[in-house]
Structures are given as structure tokens and as C-alpha cells.
Amino acid sequence: MAEAAQVAVIGGSGLYRLLDDADEIRLDTPYGKTSDVVSIGNLGGATVAFLPRHGRNHELAPHHVPYRANLWALKQLGVRRVIAPAASGSLQPGILPGDIVICDQLVDRTSGRADTYCEPGCVIHASLADPYCEALRTLACTAACQLHIRVHGEGTVVVIQGPRFSTRAESRWFAQSGWAVVNMTQYPEAALARELGLCYLNLSVVTDRDAGVIGNPDAPPVTAQSVLEVLRQGMGQARQLISAIVEGLDSASVCQCQALAAEARI
């Protein structure tokens, strides 16, 4: 087997490859196959595992991503920290395409997704009060500022089922609720990471101003092609930020993610 990795990157839309000169392995799990092969190589002086969330050819829609298999496989490889960039739409006038939001909260609006490792005979009541690792968030904010990346150090992501985009009415509702960005994959990924005791960090790469946002009522509808066009530029910044975060991991403060997972099991 390839060398164990303590940190992983789950690549979102637009980020299908990350590592040069990497070993590729296919892992089977109790929850089926992962989205794609896992690549293991060097980044920022550390051994890093990389897994494209939607597959390297973007063949998996958000509601078809094997979230449980993905997180389980990374845990098998020895991963303790997960960096998860994800394409997102802005819900607030001050958050612009190309910005990165380091989310601190999420709202789940999905349905029917396999979202727990709690099986018959195993009871898990995971705390998701603070779904993202605070130590990794602090590190990411510092790294983004040093790179002069336009970043928002907090914000709530509302996770919709997809694969369709929001109606204008839904977008106005989300914006009026004060939520920062909208995305289709942060749940159940963050919740599953918590159950496994993995530190989990979201980097929301803003691709568009969602239809219906205050101050943007006549915006053209969001389309897949317009999102991909912005991603070609935004993911370049995300790559820089990911590398800087990995380089700074040794200086990250102690967090409660593993303790919260241990306390969740009855």
C-alpha cells in the first residue's frame, strides 16, 4: 500500500487533480467504492491524500457522491485532517465571485442521503454544533491573509439537495436568513467527518451571485457553464491556499474534533 497520509484534500468541482508524481490506490469500504482512486503524494512538505469528490471526470452528481465510502477510506489511510474546497454560490452582496468563504456553520436542506455510520447495534449522537474544525479555520484565515486572497473568515453554508440550482424565491429566502453561501455537498460530508473524529475544513470557492440575492434581483440564472468558467480562475487561488494550509499544519492549535467523536458513541 502507498505511504500513509495524515491530511487529505477532497477536491470539489473544478479541482480534479492536485498532486504530481502520486501513487494511486483504489479502496473498497463497507460502504462501497470511493468516488475515484485516491492519490497519495507530497504537497507542502507533507504526505497528502487527494480524492476528487465528483470523480476525475465529474461523473457523480452531488446526491450520488459516496460520502460514507470517501470519508471511511481516508480514515483507513491514517488521515486525521480533511481540507474540503467546494464550489458555492454567494447569497450576500458583499461576497463576490472569486472570493473564498471559510465557513463556520452549515444548514442542511438535503434529503434521503446516507448521512451516518450509526448502524443497528451502534448508537452515535455526534455533536455538530460547530461542524468545522476551529483550529483549521484559524490556520486557513491566517494563510489566506498572507497570500492576499480575498477571504471571508466566517459564514453559514446552506446545503441544498441538487442537482438543480435554486429558484429565485429560494435564493431570497436563504439570503434573508443571513446565510453566506449555497452549496450541494457540504452535508453529509462534514457530519460524517465528525463521526469519524476527523478535523474538517471547508473552503467555499464562490462562483456566482445566486439568483434572487438582494441587490442582484435581475441577475441571469446560474448555469453550469458560467460556474465552470469562474472555477477555472478560483481554483487556482484555492490550490495556493491549500498548499499554505498544509505547510502550516504543525503550527495548528489543539482542537476538540477527536474528543467530540469519542463522546458521541453510546
Residues annotated as binding site for substrate?
184, 208-210
CB 49 within 8 A of CB 38: yes
- Annotated catalytic residue, options 36, 99, 108, 210: 210
The set of residues, in sequence order, having a beta carbon less than 8 Å from that of 164 and lying 6+ positions away, is none
Q: Is 162 exposed, middle or buried (0-12, 13-18, 19+ CB in 10 A)?
A: middle
CB 97 within 8 A of CB 234: yes
Q: Is 130 a catalytic residue?
A: no
Binding residues for phosphate, by number, are: 13, 53-54, 185
Q: Is 210 a catalytic residue?
A: yes
| Burial 76-93, CB ≥16 within 10 A → b, else e | ebebbbbbbbbbbbbbbe
Residues in the chain: 266
7-11 and 81-90 beta bridge pairing: parallel
Binding residues, by number, are: 13, 53-54, 184-185, 208-210
Q: Any idea which residues carry the catalytic annotation?
A: 208, 210
